[in-house]
Amino acid sequence: MIELNDNALSIDYEKEADRICDFLRTTLRTELKRRGLVVAVSGGIDSTCSAALAVRALGKDKVFCLRLPEQDSTKATGDRSQILVDHLGVNYETHNIAGTLEAIGCYKWRDEAIKKVFPKYSADWKNKIVLKGGLEGKYNHFVLVVQTPDGELLEERLPLNEYLTIVAATNYKQRIRKTVEYFHADRLNYAVIGTPNRLEYDQGFFVKNGDGSADIKPIAHLYKTQVYAMARHLGVPESVCDAIPTTDTYSLSQGQDEFYFALPYEKMDYALWALNHQIPAKKLAEYLNVSKDQAELIYKDISTKRRTTAYMHAKPFLVDDVLDF
Amino acid sequence: MSIEETIREYILENFLFTDDQSLLSSEDSFMEKGIIDSTGILEVIFFLEEKFNVKVDDDEMIPENLDSVKNLVAFVGSKA
């Protein structure tokens, strides 16, 4: 009988690394017909692990990494991505996309929407959006948090139009990055790696035609806990493996759990695993030390996100089948 | 037009793209029937606030208030 316990996510990392690397080589050879891999490295653990797997699969000379900061990226993520590319010994390019984002209107659209909620907001304030509701039995909705230059934190529920505009504007970041990735992939005749972990892939935590776009996603089946362990198994420097999951998209520090997931990743992993293995909510509640009602809300939140983000995985819908490829 | 008719017309026109009244029962759960997702609920809230001049507080963003035509009618009525 399958039981929810601390070993639920344990796997043989050496075997799994071999399996993933075989998959990368085979897919490049038989499906993609490309001779290497492009990986954009953010300084987070997912792209770190993906890049390390790519190098293990193909060798450092067939992997090209990209560091793509913008004006809201932190120094810490930039430092970690630099340590990683130095450690891997790969060819890489650093391309600051702030100028492109400025030209296309990303910051202008975002800031104008923020000003409709906080009229005094200006460039020297910081901002982030925070998800609320799901674990309290309410509808998920976003709250805008800003910090004045004096350090005062203010927050307001985001009205519909401002919410949609801020998300649409910040989605430019992932989409411009992907455009740069495909430029280099085309130039080198390489394929592009997508770096979602299982939580992100399952729960739709990506931007369609942004970070969701890729030719191959080598860690989409691994829970985040396993991604950390895999990175350590592959010998990635500890200073990079220590990365705390952030979106690195908004100027105020923002954990992935407050932006999107109901719980910190360590707990979300087990909740998702438990749901995937039909573990009753009562057992999940005991394991996470929460009430049965809260465990049921966690399951419901996971199912809701699956349903509402399903379209992001979908190909364009056609009236008739055109060709069976 | 009554509150219920106004709400039904809005949901049918904006989420179901039809005027066929038979496609929406007043008790249909928007979420369970896949009619409206969480972003759609924000659209409904925007509509309520504009059309009926009501303020929807954070604590009121629950299915019991917003997840069917019947619930919406009762909620707007409670704000009158």
Instruction: Look at A137 and A172; give whichever has higher pLDDT.
Output: A172
Residues A49 and A192 in one domain: yes
Q: At residue A236, does pLDDT exceed 80?
A: yes
Q: Which of A32-41, A95-104, A256-265 has the lowest mean pLDDT?
A: A256-265
Q: Is A167 within a domain?
A: yes
B68 near B31, Cβ under 8 Å? no
pLDDT per residue as tens digits for the range A178-205: 999 999 999 999 999 999 999 999 999 9
Give ipTM to 2 decimals: 0.86
CA-nearest of A257, A259, A248 to A76 is A248
What's the mean pLDDT in A157-164? 93
Contact call for residues A263 and A257 (beta carbons, < 8 A): yes
Q: Are residues A102 and A30 in the same domain?
A: yes
For residue A162, is pLDDT > 70? yes
At CA A287, angle to CA A286 and CA A292, rounded to 5? 40
Does residue A1 belong to any structural domain of this protein? no
Residues A102 and A26 reside in one and the same domain: yes
User: Which of A94-108, A168-182, A273-287, B33-47 shows the lowest mean pLDDT across its residues?
Assistant: B33-47
* Boundaries of every domain in chain B: 3-79
Residues of B within 8 A of A164 (CB-CB) are 39
Best mutation target, B15, B38, B56, to test chain A (most A CBs within 10 A): B38
Query: How much is the pLDDT for A321?
Result: 84
Same domain as A199, residue A63:
yes
Lowest mean pLDDT among A230-239, A297-306, B11-20: A297-306
The answer to whether the CB of A268 falls within 8 A of the CB of A259 is no
Q: Are A56 and A17 in contact (CB under 8 A)?
A: yes
User: Is the domain of A188 the same as that of A65?
Assistant: yes
Residue A137 lies in a domain: no
Contact B62 A161 (CB under 8 A): no
Greater model confidence, B43 or A262: B43
Q: Does some domain include residue A121?
A: no
A222 and A176 in one domain? yes
Q: Which residues of A touch B66 (CB under 8 A)?
A: 139
Q: What is the mean pLDDT of residues B23-31?
A: 93
- Using a pLDDT cut of 70, give the percent of chain A over it: 95
pLDDT-derived band at B37 (thresholds 50, 70, 90) equals: confident
Confidence of residue B38 (pLDDT cuts 50, 70, 90): confident
Q: What is the mean pLDDT of chain A?
A: 93
Q: Which span out of A48-57, A70-79, A262-271, A311-320 was modeled with the highest average pLDDT?
A: A48-57
Domain match, A82 and A206 both: yes
Backbone φ, ψ for residue A256 (5° rounding): -60, -30
Give the C-alpha separation, A253 to B54, whole Å. 34
Mutation target vs B (from A130, A139, A303; most B CBs, 10 A cutoff): A139
Pair A171, A288 in one domain: no
Whether the CB of A122 is below 8 Å from some CB of chain B: the reply is no
- The pLDDT of residue A49 is 98
Distance from CA of B4 to the nearest CA of A (A): 22
The strand ranges marked E within chain A are: 37-40, 63-67, 91-94, 126-132, 141-147, 153-157, 191-192
The answer to whether A1 faces chain B, any CB pair under 8 Å, is no
Instruction: Examine the pLDDT at A257 and tell me if it is beyond 70.
Output: no
Answer whether A58's CB lies under 8 Å from A218's CB.
no
- In CATH, what number does B3-79 get? 1.10.1200.10
Please say whether the beta carbons of A189 and A34 come within 8 A: yes
A27 at the B interface (CB within 8 A)?
Answer: no
| Assigned domain for A251 exists | no
Q: Residue B8: CB partners within 8 Å, gap ≥ 6?
A: B21, B24, B26, B69
**CATH code (residue A167):** 3.40.50.620
Q: A103 Cβ partners below 8 Å, 6+ apart?
A: none
Residues A187 and A77 in one domain: yes
CA–CA separation, A238 and A121 (whole Å)? 38
- Domain for residue A93, yes or no? yes
8-state DSSP, B24: -
Q: A309 at the B interface (CB within 8 A)?
A: no
Shared domain for A209 and A168, answered yes or no, is yes
Mean pLDDT of B59-73: 95
Nearest to B57 by CA among B36, B26, B79: B79
- Mean pLDDT across the stretch A275-301? 94
**CB-facing half-sphere around the CA of A9: CA atoms within 13 A:** 22
Residues A21 and A99 in one domain: yes
Q: Is the pLDDT of residue A246 over 80?
A: no
* Domain extent for A77: 11-107+161-244
Q: Is the pLDDT of residue A305 over 70?
A: yes
Q: How far is CA A198 from CA A101, A202, A205, A268, A305, in A?
A: 29, 6, 10, 11, 14
**Among candidates A139, A157, A161 on the partner chain, residue whose Cβ is nearest the Cβ of B38:** A139
Q: What total number of domains does chain A contain?
A: 2
Residues A239 and A287 in one domain: no
Please report residues of A whose CB lies closer than 8 A to that of B39: 164, 308
Report pLDDT for A325. Answer: 58
